[in-house]
Structure 1
């Protein structure tokens, strides 16, 4: 741990103990984060949740929790206006089980507190109460936490309390740098985080592999941590269309390339065997995208 950890030694150790208590629970908590905004993190969180919930081989009970405290948008992506959100839990007005919104996609949503800038940096007691509240959700197989972008104290708290951390990045140089930055911030607080890298908006599997290996190698060399390559998601116009329609793209166009990728990733998370990426549909898509005009 670095001399100047974001949370401080006592708070970080408390979160590690809490993470240990989660480890004995049936529910698996995955925190999805990014070093910068605009990389598609929230869209990935929502639609990956849908793929896990609708997995043909092994459907899961999934809760997607929008932990972007101040600029939440999971509910916007779905076109819903929730009556209650995390603000009511933080202030002690509602239990977390009372603010869950059940959707038609076989997953539940916990909305973030959009527009409440005073919640962007919680007090330690409020932060601990919120993370503790997650433990009350015992019926889910997976809780996907969509964090804010960046390395604020709130973000790191959620990351340290999760079983797995998925860092979303794109091939853009700024995104690569910021992805390394958020991984470095995690390592500064704990040396046993389970970190996975997901490349979004790639033009081909070759591009995804090149960029992801670059990040993974740098993390291994300078941070002495092993980051797992979880996979990639193609750049796909279906995503923008889904955002405009406020319908998850996993539901709007289930056979689109972007959903093939997310289904692939969901299977990896569930340890379901997947086809080699240089065979079948992935071989076709790789060739197809290489021939598309820039």
Structure 2
């Protein structure tokens, strides 16, 4: 770990852009699969892109990567090729027709924790190539594992996606509880999105339930970022392998995502953020 820290210091000393980076890192996670996490991640990235931001969407589901499916893209290379030093970040970073860049995930790859020290140092070095991005959105695996916790702990903002279904609410609380016990909360901003709501009131009720329990029993502040309406446009977009904010930009779901990004944009940059600090924290757990 000391060698890794030294390697990162050397990289940052030789890269003023990285050292001064104010890239915003947002990790999107969920307590269970099937709540629309990847759809939210993808369309948040596109909404940021529409604001003129330089956006990188990283599929960090190292087991069942599928961001490229939502985008309707077949990547030639992915994180597996980068981690195994077969390709560089410049090789795997894909421009898309949606105004964002994609780092495709590595299906079948298991744990960041299993990387050798050489692979970790190379992974960190290659991630520095993203220092020119304004926003990096990381779509983490569904559920809880060490990879997810690492990406949450290192991010400026971590967003938990849930739905009004009782099992989804229970699992959202479950991942928040693990975050509270496993991660040293060094300025982490934890937020909640309630997806597939039938009304504004339903979203608020679910959020109040989760945030109140987190505050009362975990002494953890979780901010309610907002909701996304249940919308047939989302299902249609999934079938057509197009982001719903592109296929149906005037849909209820698209308007909700734009509102979520507007709220995120109002949150000021905090010192201790940026890509350099993300890389410092990524393997420090």
Q: Which runs of 5+ in 1 are unaligned?
A: 1-9, 273-294
Partner of residue 190, structure 1: 184
Q: CA deviation at 1:52?
A: 0.8
Partner of residue 236, structure 2: 241
Cα distance in 1 for partners of 2:149, 2:125 equals 15
- Do the aligned partners of 1:131 and 1:161 also contact (CA within 8 Å) in 2? no
Partner of residue 148, structure 2: 155
Matches of residues 168-179 of structure 1 in structure 2 within 5 Å? 168-179=161-172
Which residue of 269, 281, 288 corresponds with 2:264?
269
- The two structures have a TM-score, normalised by structure 1, of 0.80
Which residue of 216, 226, 235 corresponds with 1:231?
226
Cα distance in 2 for partners of 1:174, 1:181 equals 10
Matches of residues 16-165 of structure 1 in structure 2 within 5 Å? 25-55=21-51, 59-114=52-107, 116=108, 119-122=109-112, 123-125=114-116, 126=119, 129-130=122-123, 133-165=126-158
Q: How many residues of Structure 1 are paired with residues of Structure 2 in the alignment? A: 251
Secondary structure of residue in 1 paired with 2:142 = coil
Cα distance in 2 for partners of 1:77, 1:91 equals 25
Cα distance in 1 for partners of 2:164, 2:19 equals 33
Q: Which runs of 5+ in 2 are unaligned?
A: 13-17, 268-285
Cα distance in 2 for partners of 1:149, 1:250 equals 22
Partner of residue 248, structure 2: 253
Secondary structure of residue in 1 paired with 2:130 = coil
Deviations, residues 199-244 of structure 1 (Å, cap 9, x unaligned) = 0000000000001011000000111111111000000010110011
Q: Does 1:218 align with 2:208?
A: no
Bigger relative contact order, structure 1 or 2, given CA contacts below 8 A and separation 6+? 2
Deviations, residues 94-141 of structure 1 (Å, cap 9, x unaligned) = 122320110111100111112x2xx12231545665455333311110
- Where has structure 1 moved over 6 Å in runs of 4 or more? none
- Do the aligned partners of 2:85 and 2:122 also contact (CA within 8 Å) in 1? no
Secondary structure of residue in 2 paired with 1:231 = strand
Cα distance in 1 for partners of 2:138, 2:121 equals 15
